[in-house]
């Protein structure tokens, strides 16, 4: 059976030698291309320092970054010279100190203020404790540690772990001891630092605290829904304004998350994208008619417009935004015109191609009734291309939202610039995460919106090209 098949195959091969040679040729060509790509990838691997990833990638930094995006920390500070004055501050911010009289902020429940011989206890989430005495810090009850530790100052005023000479290196894991500092950090969520002058303890908890109402807000004791419920009650939380107004202004002026500013920036970005796309559509519509051969008989005009489209598109929106940034200063106009100019080129090209691909018969039908040229285009061409126009413009709306974020970061303002600012401070990573999520949500929303509009306007959410 197999031999007869082989004979048949040979026969076929003899009958159509050209076809088989061609197949082999194209296979070899494919292999050569594959190897060239492979060689390029290897070169790229080295020229772009991809090999350096393990060297550049600092897991500690990344872990801190990620930790800060989903957790917040409280600082407990005790100065050796005045051990009675223990400060507990949110994120170490001197404006957010718990238990300070004027703020009437109660001490958090994980802190126990005791008499001198028992010590002040800080309870961590993993049931480990740090106990502050006047002359020492004790670290007790940490899981995975068999013994407790005591940190004191020696006669020279330098911190040291009591009995550390007798301990094996393995027992001291989690400690980092230098001349002027003893740091204990068993996991990322607990950190005890002892300096010659003070003790500083960081206690991390998961979540975005003060997301709705900031530290000093009168509504802070309430949760979001409790506060929402309060807006219906007649009793005022503060006498100056109604609860509803208070509720809204407190959210808007939140110092930690800056909702008011962030949402305004987001609105700016959306305005850039929407108005930019509208501008491009309005500009491209008449120009594309003039650039289509079945509408415009003048070849020179068509050629000029085509090159104009190419140039507008070729000057990337980066360069446009640089030019407009000089003219308009930071603000949405820069973004609107940068997007508008680039997309006039893109949409003009796509539209004019769509017009050239229209069915001629409709136009001839209108012509047969003796209609003018204008009416021929109005009833012969426009009904055919309108869905394509709508589809293309809406399709670009979504990518322009992303573009507007980028233009914003180049200096035009909006959420891009806010993001850059939050990242630049180096410690507001919860804001970075918040804005990243917001951008993601808005881009996905615009994507869905444009798909939905395409569906109700033209019946399909796929991009129509012709």
One character per residue 415-454, x = contact with another protein (rule: CB under 8 A): -x--xx--x--------x---x--xx--xx--x-------
Q: From 99-107, 118-126, 194-202, 325-333, give the range in contact with another protein by CB under 8 A.
A: 325-333
**Is residue 9 a contact residue for another protein (CB under 8 A)?**
no
The residue within the footprint of another protein, chosen from 14, 234, 326, 361 (CB under 8 A), is 326
Q: Which CB sits closer to another protein, 128 or 340? A: 340
Q: From 99-107, 148-156, 220-228, 321-329, give the range in contact with another protein by CB under 8 A.
A: 321-329
**Is residue 328 a contact residue for another protein (CB under 8 A)?**
yes
CB of 466 to another protein, least distance (A): 7
One character per residue 232-271, x = contact with another protein (rule: CB under 8 A): --------------------------------x--xx--x
Q: Which CB sits closer to another protein, 354 or 366? A: 354
**Is residue 149 a contact residue for another protein (CB under 8 A)?**
no
**Is residue 371 a contact residue for another protein (CB under 8 A)?**
no
SS (HEC) of the chain: CHHHHHHHHHHHHHHCHHHHHHHHHHHHHHHHHHHHHHHHHHHHHHHCCHHHHHHHCCHHHHHHHHHHHHEEEEEEEEECCEEEEEEEEECCCCCCECCCHHHCCCCCCCEECCCCCCCEEEECCCCCEEEECCCEEEEECCCCCCCCEEEEECCCCCEEECCHHHCCHHHHCCEEEECCEEEECCCCCEEEEECCCEEEEEEEEECCCCCCCCCCCCCCCCCHHHHHHHCCCCCCCCCCCCHHHHHHHHHHCCCCCCHHHHHHHHHHHHHHHHHHHHHHHHHHHHHHHHCCCCCCCCHHHHHHHHHHHHHHHHCCHHHHHHHHHHHHCCCHHHHHHHHHHHHHHHHHHHHHHHHHCCCHHHHHHHHHCCCCHHHHHHHHHHHHHHHHHHHHHHHHHHHHHHHHHHHHHHHHCCHHHHHHHHHHHCCCHHHHHHHHHHHHHHHHHHHHHHHHHHHHHHCCCCCCCC
Q: Which CB sits closer to another protein, 16 or 445? A: 445
Kindly identify the residues of this chain, within the stretch 65-84, that bind another protein according to CB under 8 A.
65
Binding residues (CB under 8 A) for another protein: these are 37, 40-41, 44-45, 47-50, 52-53, 56-58, 61-62, 65, 264, 267-268, 271, 274-275, 278, 310-311, 313-319, 322-324, 326-334, 336, 350, 353, 402, 405-406, 409-410, 413, 416, 419-420, 423, 432, 436, 439-440, 443-444, 447, 462, 465-466
């Amino acid at each position: 059976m197999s031999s007869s098949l082989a004979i048949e195959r040979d026969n076929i091969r003899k009958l159509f030698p050209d076809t088989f040679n061609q197949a082999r040729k194209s296979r070899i060509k494919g292999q050569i291309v594959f190897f060239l790509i492979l060689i390029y990838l290897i070169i790229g691997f080295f020229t772009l320092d991809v090999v350096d990833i393990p060297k550049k990638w600092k897991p500690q930094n990344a872990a801190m970054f990620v930790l800060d995006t989903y957790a917040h920390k409280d600082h407990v500070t005790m100065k050796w010279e005045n051990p009675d004055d223990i400060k507990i501050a949110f994120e170490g911010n001197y404006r957010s100190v718990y238990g300070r009289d004027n703020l009437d902020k109660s001490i958090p429940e994980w802190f126990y203020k005791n008499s001198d011989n028992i010590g002040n206890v800080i309870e961590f989430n993993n049931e480990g404790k740090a106990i502050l005495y006047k002359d020492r810090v004790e670290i007790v009850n940490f899981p995975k540690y068999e013994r407790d530790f005591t940190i004191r100052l020696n006669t020279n005023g330098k911190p040291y772990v009591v009995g550390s000479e007798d301990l094996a290196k393995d027992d001291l894991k989690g400690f980092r001891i230098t001349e002027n500092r003893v740091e204990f950090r068993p996991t990322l969520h607990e950190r005890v630092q002892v300096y010659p002058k003070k003790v500083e303890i960081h206690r991390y908890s998961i979540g975005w605290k003060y997301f709705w109402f900031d530290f000093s807000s009168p509504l802070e004791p309430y949760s979001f829904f409790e506060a929402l419920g309060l807006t219906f009650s007649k009793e005022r939380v503060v006498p100056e304004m109604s609860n509803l107004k208070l509720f809204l202004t407190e959210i808007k002026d939140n110092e930690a998350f800056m909702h008011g500013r962030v949402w305004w920036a987001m609105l700016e970005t959306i305005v850039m994208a929407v108005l930019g796309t509208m501008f491009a559509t309005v500009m491209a519509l008449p120009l594309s008619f003039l650039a289509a051969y079945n509408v415009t008989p003048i070849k020179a005009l068509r050629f000029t417009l085509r090159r104009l489209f190419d140039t507008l598109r070729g000057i990337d929106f980066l360069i446009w935004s640089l030019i407009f940034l000089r003219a308009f200063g930071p603000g949405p106009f820069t973004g609107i015109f940068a997007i508008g100019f680039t997309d006039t080129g893109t949409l003009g090209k796509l539209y004019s191609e769509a017009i050239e691909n229209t069915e001629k018969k409709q136009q001839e039908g209108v012509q047969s009734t003796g209609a003018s040229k204008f009416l021929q285009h109005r009833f012969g061409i426009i009904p055919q291309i309108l869905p394509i126009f709508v589809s293309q413009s809406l399709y670009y709306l979504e990518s322009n939202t992303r573009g507007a974020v980028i233009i914003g970061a180049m200096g035009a303002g909006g959420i891009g610039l806010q993001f850059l600012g939050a990242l630049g401070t180096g410690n507001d990573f919860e804001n970075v995460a918040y804005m990243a999520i917001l951008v993601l949500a808005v881009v996905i929303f615009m994507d869905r919106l444009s798909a939905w509009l395409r569906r109700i306007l033209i019946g399909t959410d796929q991009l129509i090209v012709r």
